[in-house]
Amino acid sequence: MERRSTSTTAPAPAAVDPAESDLLVQARGGNLFAFEEVVRRYQRRVYAVAYRIVRRHEVADDVAQEAFIRAHKALGTFDASRPFGPWICRIAANLAINHVRSPEAREEELPEGHAETPAPSQGGPLEGVLAQEAKAVLDAALERIPADQRAVFVLRVVEELSYREIADALGISMGTVMSRLSRAREKLREALAPYLGAAAARAQGNEP
C-alpha cells in the first residue's frame, strides 16, 4: 500500500504568462505603453484589494494609483519571471493599511451608500435577494474588524496568498498572520450568524 507524503512544503509558484513577462521587461526598459498595458490588466484587482481594506471608493482609487506608481519605480527590483499580481496587490494592501492607520483616516466617516454594488445573481429571484443581502452583511462586518485583520483576511481569502507571502508583504511573522486571520474569521462568523439563521428561515418559508 502506497504511503502518502505528509510534507508541508509550500506549493510551487503560479505560472507566469509569457506575454505579461515580456511586457514587464519592456516596461523596465522604459516602455510606458507596456506598463500601461500591465496597469490595464490589474487595475480592477488592485482597486478591489484597496477598497476591501479602506472601505471608501475615492481612497481606494488613490491607493491603487499610488500602488502602480510605486511598482513602476521599483520595477528594477522585480523578478519578471514571477507573477506580477501578488506583488502589486501586496503593495496596495500595505498602502491601504497605512491609510487606515493615519490620523486623517480616523477623522473620515463612511458616506451613505458606500458599499459595493452587488453582482447580479445567476439564480432565481430569491437567490438574488439572498446573495445581495449576504454581500451587504459581509461588507458591514468587514468594516467593523480592525484594518490589520481585514488586510490579512483579504490577502488570504480573496487573493489566496500563502501565509509566508502575507507575512513578507506586511512585515509580520507567520504566527501573527495566522492569529489575525483566526480573529478576523471568528468576528465575521459572529457578525454573520444572525443573518445566516434568518436567511435560512426565509429560504424555507418559515419566517413571516
User: Each residue of 68-115: pLDDT tens digit?
Assistant: 999 999 999 998 888 899 899 989 998 998 888 776 654 454 444 444
Alpha helix (H) residue ranges in 55-124: 57-73, 84-101, 103-107
> What's the fold here for domain 120-208?
Arc Repressor Mutant, subunit A (1.10.10)
What's the CA dihedral at 13, 19, 24, 29 to 10 degrees? 140
Q: Give the count of beta carbons closer than 10 Å to the beta carbon of residue 113.
A: 6
CATH architecture for residues 17-106 = Orthogonal Bundle (1.10)
How much is the pTM? 0.68
The angle formed by the CA atoms of residues 12, 48 and 110, to the nearest 5 degrees, is 145
Specify the domain boundaries for CATH 1.10.1740.10 within the chain.
17-106
Please, are residues 142 and 191 in contact by the beta-carbon 8 Å criterion? no
Domain boundaries for CATH 1.10.10.10 within the chain = 120-208
